[in-house]
């Protein structure tokens, strides 16, 4: 539908689009919640999901910049 210009101004203005990941949901509310959650992710985390690297998602969630920790690099946590 996006290729034909349906589905929103954002994607219709950026044709052609390529589907890189999808998931089926029983309820539309679940699909909307998942879309909103994923939109808030870093690019690195989204790319890991597209590649199916589910084990990398927790590490990418902990880093604001979305970059994985380097070996021997201490993890820095935000102070609250």
Of 43, 47, 56, nearest in space to 21 by CA: 47
Q: pLDDT tens digits, residue range 18-66? A: 888 899 999 999 999 999 999 989 899 999 999 999 999 888 886 555 4
What is this structure's pTM? 0.61
Q: How many CA atoms lie within 13 A of 51 on its CB side?
A: 10
Confidence band of 80 (pLDDT split at 50, 70, 90) = very low
Q: According to the model, what pLDDT value does residue 9 have?
A: 77
User: pLDDT tens, 58-71?
Assistant: 888 865 554 555 55
């Amino acid at each position: 539908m996006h290729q034909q210009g349906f589905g929103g101004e954002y994607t219709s203005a950026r044709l052609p689009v390529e589907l890189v990941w999808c998931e089926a949901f029983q309820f539309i509310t679940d699909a909307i919640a998942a879309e909103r959650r994923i939109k808030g992710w870093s690019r690195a985390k989204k790319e890991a999901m597209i590649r199916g690297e589910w084990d990398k998602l927790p590490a990418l969630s902990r880093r604001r910049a979305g970059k994985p920790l380097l070996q021997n690099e201490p993890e820095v946590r935000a102070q609250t």
